[in-house]
């Protein structure tokens, strides 16, 4: 019920603002006796960390995570795991000019309208800074899932430029600053985003996240469907405006004859001959790859002047300076992976509870 | 946590199988003293009811809803509202041949894999019959929202044929069997679907649901975002494989200069100059129309033979007879409306709780 | 969150009013493949059923339970289990005189104050009739727990007369109309309650519920403690005003030297030398008997005239006729057993989720 | 669902171990724009703080609370309120001898049995140190309730010595080290506890908590009853073994004629002529004082040797040194107040949600 928690049995609660002293999370329900080190978390934090290329924000945050409870002698204890990250590069003064003016595309107006008060320092609670703790929680979720489950994310479209499926190479994802699985497209994106940056503009993106090795049977019909929870998980990420599973929206135009995945017998039992469903049928995992895509809108903070209003009801215009990602979608890939991990870990525990 | 419940403060729990004696729901958290009649519910039930044209299943279900608790002297009491619908046209025998064979695209395999048991009569719990109770709950949600909030759904694409936005006329939606807002396209769909039906095939669809009049401030960052809950709500509907808000996936290719909605002052305060965001910013409603679209895959039950396996691990083929919707998306529109109503009602109560 | 649901993974939602057409419940989260018959439920329903002696209400309710979903071919399916009981002996007219007058000790005033409306027919939702569905849900919970767990309840005090621990004989409980484990005391209670009944008065009671065979490890610190959930479960039963675990309130006066249960090694591992803690330490079951007691206040509906007010703010007096239990505590024993079963089943699933 | 959270709309999640670096909590759902300072919290923290007399543990903890999120410019923002307290006086070495031995009356055995791992430093998560964060959350809850609601706790029994109701003076509670409302009894307790301490023993206690000014209508039948939630809240406090509301267990022996509180008209509407029910009828507050009592068992850590076993299955004996409260009940009074505040705040928001 609480708005700042996610999941049921593997339950993540995050707190903290973009320019507050610290951000943190509590992960409750973690199974005991799982070996866990700060380094296990840090590995994933570093993949999301800002400032790793000229295509992401230059805010200098080391994102050092501290585990302050729930671990004893190197293993989880079953008690809530609390993690804290210090906000090092705080510059609240940078935001003085937006203290009273609503930035288009941001949550400034809606937070003010809802709460009548707003921490305007870098967006406060509505900032994507919060997603750092999702990645921390996701790192724990991966531990719960174990080595048999691999969760990987890739950026598959930036602006109007989508990757070719034929050129897909997972190894490329860590080789370019875009998490692009298509080497040729990565180069094209570089040129495209340099142009975007120089124009003071921004670009949207589509991210694909795949989980391999997830067991069959995860998901709880009819409202706790695996894909329903994945949809909520991805849509809750900042700037996300759409989510699809498997072939997604393309299935509208697909004829019935080819839309459903046929089955045959494999060496280990029933297997599917295709995966248009994205690994989920009736809300339950099929044992195939679980495949989700989501769209991230262009970063709203751009150098172009846009019309807006202020708190006092005056019409005005704004041009948002500061340190922003020209394509926030790039850093959303590790966040999408983390949310996938959290959803799967939660459903793993839920499945174990009901079905043993 | 329970898989068969939806919402937090306006909480819906459904039960029942496609060919069981009855289906029903319990709606908890309903504010007291709301006038409520069976007829209020029935109006919306009838819009989803099967057998209304040759394009939907011919199962003969009157879908008469009985309110059996939570109402006294014509008004809600604050106690849980229980509603029951009898399954009249039960024909479990029709399904004997699928008792042991997994229909491609259906939940047969995953239910069996998860639970080790499966009510195969018409899909049992995984059948879209369950959505009748969503519509009943949605009718109550509309009462909670009041007359100021109008929720309307339309089918905007069937197969590869999408409506033109210019030809949009809400009045047309009730004038054709497709809930199509575009008169010319409705005719085209008729011809298209006749062909689909004759071929024993099926078609997918995209549905758009709009809520007008929803107040600003609904939605609870960061995991209880209005659009996160809408995404889960729509994705939980049978056969749905994707959800988008506002411009959705199209925002990937939109430049930053035009992606964010600008603001100006209107007569009643700040207003937006466009609605690409679909009425949600930072997970909180803006006061504009809340706009959601979702895709429904083609009906999996088709007359074409498809490869599959049975419970005993034999490869086989199946051709699904019975009474099916050639385009299940048509009847999904009222269900999408109902889910929108439930999400908004829940968030209305949640907002009132926290912000008074 | 919803007020009419109980439990998390084994989740019970009840609905219905005392003189409405039906009462029912939905039990979600039930593990699949458990053999389940109406007779399994009915056995426990009959133990709570009214009219079994002159010491309980004479309302003639057969309490026939129908399972309408979640079961297929004699086994649970993992889908929500819905059960319905018809209210046969409805006499709403009996309650005309309390339609506008608040009965002391009842929820009439508070329901009206909270909701501004009230189903006054026999107390509506606030009636102990609701507990019938707790017993139905508890019967399912017993199936989840399996034969290794035995849950038994006994009345240990009626009015000022408490049983002697030395005379305790579980076999006696089913031999007298009071569920009294002490044969001599049962006779004394008979005489005492005849007097109470003749005076038009009523008596309170204390019930003890014991679960034997519950595994060690159930309970989830620090807010999901087994005893915290048991306390809520018992306190939620109509007319209950206190709950204690193990030695309970007597521990205030116990010296530290004897208050804690010592341990030694038994044949199967560590064992406790006493059970003052009632089978719970730190909120987690020890493997010993889980022991809970709760007090039921005297039935508020008595034939004596009491001062009160009506809805219009007039002072008045009332004498409550109708068919009431002179000691509602007697019928609370099976309800307490049911709540114990539900709590243990929920925690069994929760424990399995986190700890495998 | 998560075991370390409490409440639904006013939702408290705590984390941290007795001898970890920090303990903390997240309070989600706090209404916005409430003025809030560290000093507001500290005032209540100081009342629970250890080492304030020779009758409580001598551990030197300043319990300085830091608010690290959810507040901006001195007011709550609606974002989650995170609070952190540093553990200053950590002495994990003191506990080396209990690393492998189960202390009778403690959670050592059950944590080990459940989780297979245990932070044995001062009890880890099972330590009453956790209650510091309950008091912090309770301080916020008081702010939500406003000045109209006064919540006060008193110790009413220590060992076998109970206060006289006639001698009750709330002003005395802050004048003696026992939170005793009866001056004469406070002196007697001093002598009694000196003896207990010298004998190396410990004593139990009963605490009474009263909330005055709580509005009528709080509580959500039938499982979300105000008293059911209070029972869970109090029972979740360390060492509590029983809870009662109003007259509680004494109602078993009360005749029906006097058990129910009569009503008459007062200046502001209906009023009750007594308060045996403890301010709750049918699970809903009556507008009278809400009265709860709970029993705290004698501190389990005593200097006397007790029989026990170790992790390796050897029988042994233990004598627990360290810095312990001879009567942990004394410090439980502020914790009980805090839990009362949290329950009322949660129900205030829940009531506002459903009933406006």
pLDDT the model gives residue B94 = 72
Measure in Å the smallest separation between the Cα of C224 and chain A Cα atoms.
11
Q: What is the mean pLDDT of residues B217-233?
A: 97
Q: Which of C1-10, D105-114, D140-149 has the lowest mean pLDDT?
A: C1-10
Measure in Å the smallest separation between the Cα of C108 and chain B Cα atoms.
13
- Which of B235, C69, B225, B25 is CA-nearest to residue A227? B235
Distance of CA C315 to the CA centre of its chain: 34
> Are residues B110 and A216 in contact, defined by beta-carbon separation less than 8 angstroms?
yes
C326 or C85, which is more confident?
A: C85
- Give residues with Cβ within 8 angstroms of D343, minimum separation 6: D7, D226, D229, D230, D233
> Are residues C291 and C299 in contact, defined by beta-carbon separation less than 8 angstroms?
no
Model confidence pLDDT, tens digit, residues C261-304: 999 999 989 999 999 999 999 999 999 999 999 999 999 989 89
* Residue C16, Ramachandran bin (φ over 0: left; ψ between -120 and 50: alpha; else beta): left
Which percentage of chain B shows pLDDT scores above 70? Answer: 99
pLDDT above 90 for B47? no
Q: Which residues of C touch B6 (CB under 8 A)?
A: none
Q: What is the mean pLDDT of residues B207-230?
A: 98
Q: Which of B44-58, C11-25, D129-143 has the lowest mean pLDDT?
A: B44-58
Helix H or strand E segment including A195: helix A183-198
CB contact under 8 A, B251 and A260: no
Q: What is the mean pLDDT of residues B294-319?
A: 94
Q: What is the mean pLDDT of chain C?
A: 94
Using CA atoms, how far residue D293 sits from C204, C208, D280, D285, in Å, is 19, 20, 14, 16
Q: What is the mean pLDDT of chain B?
A: 94
pLDDT band at residue D163 under the 50/70/90 scheme? very high
CB contact under 8 A, C9 and A353: yes
pLDDT band at residue D323 under the 50/70/90 scheme? low
Question: What span, in angstroms and rounded, lies between the C-alpha atoms of B282 and B262?
Answer: 15
> Are residues D289 and D231 in contact, defined by beta-carbon separation less than 8 angstroms?
no
Interface test with B, best of A224, A238, A263, A268 (most B CBs within 10 A): A263
DSSP string, B292-351: EEEEEPPPS--SS-EEEEBTTS-EEEE---SS--SSTHHHHHHHHHHHHHHHHHHHHHHH
How many CB atoms are located within 10 Å of the residue B53 CB? Answer: 13
Largest CA distance in chain D: 69
CB contact under 8 A, C79 and B1: no
Question: What span, in angstroms and rounded, lies between the C-alpha atoms of D172 and A73?
Answer: 47
Size of interface A-C (CB pairs under 8 A): 41
The three-point CA angle C76-C81-C82 to 5° equals 145
Q: Where are the beta strands (DSSP E) in chain B?
A: 5-6, 11-16, 22-28, 65-69, 71-72, 75-76, 81-86, 150-158, 161-162, 205-212, 240-245, 263-266, 269-272, 280-281, 284-285, 290-296, 306-309, 315-318
SS3 B240: strand
Size of interface B-D (CB pairs under 8 A): 41
Chain C residues interacting with chain A (CB cutoff of 8 angstroms):
1, 9, 29-32, 78-79, 221, 349-350, 352-356
Q: Which residues of C touch D14 (CB under 8 A)?
A: 222
pLDDT above 80 for D271? yes
SS3 A245: strand
Q: Which residues of D touch C2 (CB under 8 A)?
A: 224
pLDDT the model gives residue A1 = 60
SS (H, E, C) D232-288: HHHHCCCCEEEEEECCHHHHHHCCHHHHCCCEEEECCEEEECCCCCCCEECCEECCC
- Give residues with Cβ within 8 angstroms of B40, minimum separation 6: B139, B143
Buried b (16+ CB within 10 A) or exposed e, A58-95: ebebebebebbbbbbeebbbbbbbbbbbebeebebeeb
> Are residues A297 and B254 in contact, defined by beta-carbon separation less than 8 angstroms?
yes
Question: What span, in angstroms and rounded, lies between the C-alpha atoms of B252 and C268?
Answer: 63
pLDDT above 70 for C323? no
- Give residues with Cβ within 8 angstroms of D146, minimum separation 6: none
pLDDT band at residue C56 under the 50/70/90 scheme? confident
pLDDT above 80 for D248? yes
Model confidence pLDDT, tens digit, residues D54-88: 777 777 888 999 999 999 999 999 999 999 999 98
Question: What span, in angstroms and rounded, lies between the C-alpha atoms of B170 and B228?
Answer: 27
Chain A residues interacting with chain D (CB cutoff of 8 angstroms):
1-5, 8-9, 11, 13-17, 20-24, 26, 28-29, 32-33, 68-70, 72-73, 75-82, 111, 114-119, 124-125
How many CB atoms are located within 10 Å of the residue A224 CB? Answer: 24
Model confidence pLDDT, tens digit, residues D305-321: 999 999 999 999 999 87
Q: Which residues of A touch D117 (CB under 8 A)?
A: 32-33, 72-73, 75-78
Q: Which residues of D touch B353 (CB under 8 A)?
A: 9, 29, 349-350, 352-353
SS3 D4: coil
Q: What is the mean pLDDT of residues C99-112?
A: 95
Using CB atoms, pick whichever of A78, A221, A355 lies closest to residue C32.
A355
pLDDT above 90 for B15? yes
SS3 D292: strand
Measure in Å the smallest separation between the Cα of A26 and chain D Cα atoms.
7
pLDDT above 80 for D157? yes
Question: What span, in angstroms and rounded, lies between the C-alpha atoms of D52 and D34?
Answer: 31
Q: Which residues of C touch A79 (CB under 8 A)?
A: 221
Residue ranges of chain A whose pLDDT lies below 70: 1, 322-323
Q: Where are the beta strands (DSSP E) in B159-204?
A: 161-162
Chain A residues interacting with chain C (CB cutoff of 8 angstroms):
1, 9, 29-32, 78-79, 221, 349-350, 352-356
Neighbours of chain A (3+ CB pairs under 8 A): B, C, D
Q: What is the mean pLDDT of residues D125-145?
A: 97
ipTM, two decimals, is 0.97
CB contact under 8 A, B354 and D79: no
Check residue B247 and report its DSSP letter: T
Interface test with D, best of A31, A79, A342 (most D CBs within 10 A): A79
pLDDT above 80 for C51? no
pLDDT the model gives residue B61 = 83
Work out the angle between the directed axes of helices B38-48 and B131-145 (0-180°, nearest 10).
130
Global confidence as pTM = 0.97
Measure in Å the smallest separation between the Cα of A208 and chain D Cα atoms.
30
Neighbours of chain C (3+ CB pairs under 8 A): A, B, D
The three-point CA angle D237-D239-D241 to 5° equals 90
Using CA atoms, how far residue C52 sits from A35, A202, B281, C331, in Å, is 58, 77, 61, 10
Using CB atoms, pick whichever of D21, D70, D117 lies closest to residue A33.
D117
| C-beta contacts of D190-193 below 8 A and 24+ residues apart | D190/D55, D192/D158, D192/D159, D192/D161, D193/D55, D193/D158, D193/D326, D193/D327
pLDDT band at residue B309 under the 50/70/90 scheme? very high
- For C86, the closest chain B residue by CA position comes to B68
Question: What span, in angstroms and rounded, lies between the C-alpha atoms of D243 and D209?
Answer: 11
Helix H or strand E segment including A191: helix A183-198
pLDDT above 90 for C161? yes
Using CA atoms, how far residue D127 sits from B222, C222, C252, D15, D124, in Å, is 32, 10, 20, 12, 6
pLDDT the model gives residue B40 = 93
pLDDT above 80 for D212? yes
Phi then psi dihedrals of residue B49, to 5 deg: -50, 140
CB contact under 8 A, B221 and D9: no
Question: What span, in angstroms and rounded, lies between the C-alpha atoms of D309 and D306?
Answer: 10
Q: Which residues of B touch C70 (CB under 8 A)?
A: 15
Question: What span, in angstroms and rounded, lies between the C-alpha atoms of B99 and B121?
Answer: 8
pLDDT the model gives residue C35 = 98
SS (H, E, C) chain C: CCCCEECCCCEEEEEECCCCCEEEEEEECCCCCCECCHHHHHHHHHHHCCCCCCCCCCCCCCCCEEEEECEECCEECCCCEEEEEECCCCCHHHHHHHCCECCCCCCHHHHHHHHCCCCCHHHHHHCHHHHHHHHHHHHHHHHHHCCCCEEEEEEEEECCEECCHHHCCHHHHHHCCCCCCCHHHHHHHHHHHHHHHHCCCCCCEEEEEEEECCCCCCCECCCECHHHHHHHHHHCCCCEEEEEECCHHHHHCCCHHHHCCCEEEECCEEEECCCCCCCEECCEECCCCEEEEEEECCCCCCCCCEEEEECCCCEEEECCCCCCCCCCHHHHHHHHHHHHHHHHHHHHHHHHHHHC
pLDDT the model gives residue D1 = 60
How many CB atoms are located within 10 Å of the residue A166 CB? Answer: 6
CA dihedral C66, C71, C75, C80 (to 10 degrees): -110
- Which of B353, B20, B15 is CA-nearest to residue B217? B353
Q: Which residues of D touch A16 (CB under 8 A)?
A: 68-69, 82
CB contact under 8 A, A9 and C354: yes
- For A227, the closest chain B residue by CA position comes to B235
């Amino acid at each position: 019920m609480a708005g700042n928690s996610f999941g049921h049995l593997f339950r993540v609660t995050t707190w903290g603002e973009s320019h507050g002293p610290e951000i943190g999370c509590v992960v409750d329900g973690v199974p005991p006796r799982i070996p866990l080190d700060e380094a296990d978390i840090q590995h994933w934090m570093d993949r999301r960390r800002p400032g790793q290329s000229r295509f992401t924000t230059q805010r200098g945050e080391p994102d050092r995570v501290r585990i302050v409870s729930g671990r004893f002698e190197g293993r989880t204890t079953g008690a809530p795991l609390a993690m804290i990250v210090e906000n090092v590069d705080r510059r609240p003064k940078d935001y003085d000019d937006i203290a009273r003016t609503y930035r288009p595309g941001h949550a400034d107006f809606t937070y003010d309208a809802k709460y009548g008060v707003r921490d305007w320092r870098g967006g406060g609670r509505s900032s994507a800074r919060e997603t750092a703790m999702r990645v921390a929680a996701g790192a724990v979720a991966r531990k719960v899932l174990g080595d048999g489950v691999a969760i990987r994310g890739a950026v598959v479209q930036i602006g109007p430029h989508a990757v070719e499926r034929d050129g897909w190479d997972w190894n490329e994802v860590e080789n370019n600053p875009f998490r692009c699985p298509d080497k040729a497209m990565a180069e094209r994106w570089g040129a495209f985003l340099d142009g975007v940056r120089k124009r003071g503009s921004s670009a949207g993106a589509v991210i694909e996240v795949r989980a391999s090795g997830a067991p069959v049977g995860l998901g709880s019909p009819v409202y706790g469907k695996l894909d329903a929870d994945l949809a909520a998980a991805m849509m809750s990420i900042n700037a996300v405006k759409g989510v699809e599973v498997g072939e997604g929206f393309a299935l509208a135009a697909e004829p019935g004859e080819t839309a459903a995945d046929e089955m045959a017998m494999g060496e280990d039992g029933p297997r599917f001959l295709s995966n248009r469903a994205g690994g989920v049928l009736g809300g339950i995992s099929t044992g195939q790859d679980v495949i989700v895509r989501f769209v991230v809108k262009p970063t709203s903070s751009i150098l172009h002047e846009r019309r807006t209003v202020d708190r006092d009801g005056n019409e005005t215009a704004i041009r948002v300076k500061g340190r922003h990602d020209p394509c926030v979608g790039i850093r959303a890939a590790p966040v999408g992976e983390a949310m996938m991990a959290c959803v799967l870990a939660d459903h793993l525990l839920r499945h174990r509870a009901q079905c043993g």
